[in-house]
Chain A
């Protein structure tokens, strides 16, 4: 028995070693005889052990490219090198969110037990930011199926609650307790969507009657209050990929016609006076009427904000009303504090008339990221808009940058 066991061990060891040795002879790796040191000693390549990489700490110049263009997954690219760092698993209409505590990447996902049939399963997934391994899977009672939205899965400022927008078909928000790793509660939110978290661990949402609903979540029953109407949700809608600074709760809303509305979120949001992108550029104000051609914001993700400086980057095109998803001919840079135009950058070459998504890194030396929805993501110098990197087959969806 003992002898046969030894033979078996040797045989297994030989089988384990075989692939590595064989690959050394067939995959272009030089044979041992070619590895001759100056002293004449032969260096024999060591058999390699399969391993799995981990991610470094998330860097300000990393851009997360959401799935799209037929490519699943959210790809992570280093904007300095243009190299891919890794991928967060995502499919179909899954939603993505960062963890304010920096521990996880969150994904809200829907799948069926038999792919295109069977039992529907809605879950919130938590992936470790370093290993990218799934660390938690929390069932939820449903979520809305729509792609390319930045505010359908959001995490409260304290990192303790995940808010997942749902429509089946009435509007509600499913709340997940991230500490207990369980579904917590459902908040009915009729007529509202697009959630922006505030510093009070609650959130606000845009509503179809032109108001902002604010939900206070202080442990008891959620309390919903509404602002006065301040925009027209059907005649000049606000893009639901508008931008929130999660550190300050400052919201920068942009409408189809080019109105910027600043909002300070809180228990009672302070809605600032709207100002016109076109007027900031010494043009007539954008109107949303028939056959009135003007410069307009456009794209799926048409605006980015560098929060520390208040600089606003907007994808602009020449168009009329209902051209809100048209790709950009220019990128406008504006000072969100003074409402002044800083510069207009005409896009040329492969960037002209192609870009539909824009984001900016939040460090002191920012990079601008923009993509065409067809798989190409570009890294641009934030001052000159000079193209620095091009990442092909990068996915076609929304762009995310990590918050400081």
Chain B
């Protein structure tokens, strides 16, 4: 019961986060993002199968979105990578939401809102770094959709997102699907 309760709270926070990302900018409040970040790991993977909600119109039509694909997660134009900066874990022995062997998954992440070309809906993506090993060096991507500057850290992709680990050596980046944006 308690787990379900936490999950609901997390979902509510994340949906609020996503719903405000590109419309009002309220999300730039650091406190909210930091409060939401630790919740991402407890969201169930099945959330990835959530029914897509109506997309948010022209704001979603970025150059990346218009040219993204959903077949190959080892390519920079894979749709979930709209805001990724770094080496793709899919090219380093891991997967889009899996760290390579021996690496440690960060408990925090930056977030992106990307459009899935298969259903044309917008989804919240948690970019979580895998850490504790030298930089993977494979498949480096630097996509910029909704990338903000340092004073809005929750959507900044240059930060080493290895917070909470005993070592912050960057290895690669994952792109876990969190859920559809309302």
Best-buried of A208, A232, A319 by chain B (most CB within 10 Å)? A208
Is B74 engaged at the interface, CB distance under 8 Å to the other chain? no
Which residues of chain B have C-beta atoms less than 8 A from A149's C-beta?
150, 158
Number of interface residues of A (CB under 8 A): 48
A323 to B166, CA, bound (A): 35
The answer to whether B28 touches A233, judged by C-beta atoms less than 8 angstroms apart, is: yes
Distance A152 CA – B87 CA, assembled complex (angstroms): 24
B152 partner, pick from A117, A120, A205, A208, beta carbons under 8 A: A208
CA distance A324 to B145 in the complex (A): 9
CB-based contact A290/B59 at 8 Å? yes
Give the secondary structure class of B's interface. Answer: loop
- Which residue of A169, A191, A238 is within 8 Å of B29 (Cβ)? A191
- A9 contacts the other chain (CB 8 A): no
| Contact digits for A232-263, partner B, Cβ 8 Å, 1 yes 0 no | 11110111100000000000000000000000
User: How far, in whole Å, are A325 and B168 apart by their CA atoms in the complex?
Assistant: 25
CA distance A67 to B43 in the complex (A): 38
The residues of A that contact B150 with a CB separation of less than 8 Å are 144, 146, 149, 152, 165, 193-194, 240
- B70 contacts the other chain (CB 8 A): no
| CB atoms of A146 and B159 under 8 A apart | yes
- A290 in contact with B62 given A209-B29, A235-B25 (CB within 8 Å): yes
C-alpha spacing A322/B163, complex, angstroms: 26
Name the contact of B169 in the complex, choosing from A116, A232, A238 (C-beta under 8 A): A116
* A38 vs B94: C-alpha distance when bound (angstroms): 74
Residue contact B149 to A239, C-beta cutoff 8 Å: yes
Chain B contacts with A in 114-143, Cβ cutoff 8 A: 132-134, 142
B108 near A169 with CB under 8 A, answer yes
Q: Mark A77-120, 1 if CB is under 8 A from B, else 0.
A: 00000000000000001000000000000000010100011001
- Contact B64–A145 (Cβ < 8 Å): no
Cα A221 to Cα B153 in complex, Å, equals 26
- Cβ of B22 under 8 Å from chain A: yes
Q: Please report the C-alpha to C-alpha distance between residue A207 and residue B158 in the assembled complex, in whole angstroms.
A: 17
CB of B29 within 8 A of CB of A234, answer no
User: Are B142 and A325 touching (Cβ within 8 A)?
Assistant: yes
| Beta-carbon contacts under 8 Å, B142-177 to A | 142, 144-153, 155, 158-160, 162-163, 166-169
Contacts of B149 in A (CB 8 A): 193-194, 206, 233, 237-240
A37 contacts chain B at the CB level, 8 A cutoff: no
Among residues of B, the one whose C-beta sits closest to the C-beta of A319 is B63
Determine whether the beta carbon of B30 is less than 8 Å from that of A190. yes
CB-defined contacts of B64 to chain A, threshold 8 Å: 322
In whole Å, how far is A233's beta carbon from the nearest beta carbon of chain B?
A: 5
> Taking CB as reference atom, which chain A residue is nearest B144?
A322
A361 within 8 A of B: no
- A71, chain B: closest CB distance, angstroms: 14
Beyond A116-B134, A171-B30, is A234–B148 a contact (Cβ under 8 Å)? yes
CA distance A128 to B107 in the complex (A): 40
User: At the interface, yes or no: A131 with Cβ under 8 Å from chain B?
Assistant: no
Whether B144 lies near A325 (C-beta < 8 A) is yes
Do residues A233 and B152 form an inter-chain contact, with CB atoms below 8 A? yes
- CB < 8 Å neighbour of B167 from A117, A206, A233, A322: A117
Q: Which of B30, B144, B168 sits near A323, CB closer than 8 Å?
A: B144
B72 within 8 A of A: no
Interface presence of A362 (CB below 8 A): no
A193 touches B25 (CB 8 A): no
B160: chain A residues within 8 A (beta carbon): 93, 145-146
The residue among A117, A144, A152, A322 with the most chain B CB atoms within 10 A of its own CB is A322
Contact indicator per residue, chain A 114-148, by CB within 8 Å of chain B (1) or not (0): 00110010000000000000000000000011111
Cβ B21 vs Cβ A194 within 8 A: no
Roughly how many angstroms separate A165 CA and B58 CA in the complex, as a whole number? 36
Chain A residues, CB < 8 A from B34? 169-170
Q: Are A117 and B25 in contact (CB under 8 A)?
A: no
Among residues of B, the one whose C-beta sits closest to the C-beta of A147 is B158
Chain B contacts for A36, CB-based, 8 A: none
Q: Residue of B at shortest CB range from A213?
A: B151
Which residues of chain A come closer than 8 Å to B133, judged between CB atoms?
A: 116
Any chain B CB within 8 A of the CB of A291?
yes
A289 CB within 8 Å of chain B? yes
Distance, CA A145 to CA B150, complexed state (A): 11
A190 to B33, CA, bound (A): 12
What residues of chain B lie closer than 8 Å to A234, measured between beta carbons?
A: 21-22, 25, 27-28, 146, 148, 152, 155
B12 at the A interface (CB under 8 A): no
Structural contact, B158 and A290, CB atoms closer than 8 A: no
Interface pair B144/A194, CB less than 8 Å apart: no
Q: Which residues of A contact B30 (CB under 8 A)?
A: 170-171, 190-191, 208
A289 CA / B59 CA spacing, docked (Å) = 7
Let me know if A322 and B146 touch, CB within 8 A.
yes
CB distance from B181 to the nearest CB of A (A): 15
Besides A167-B153, A191-B151, A320-B63, 4 new A-B residue pairs in contact (Cβ under 8 A), listed by A number: A191-B31, A233-B152, A234-B155, A320-B62
Q: What would be 7 A-B contacts, judged by CB atoms less than 8 Å apart?
A: A110-B168, A120-B168, A149-B150, A152-B150, A194-B149, A205-B151, A325-B144
Which residues of B are interface residues toward A (Cβ below 8 A)? 21-22, 25, 27-31, 34, 37, 58-64, 108, 132-134, 142, 144-153, 155, 158-160, 162-163, 166-169
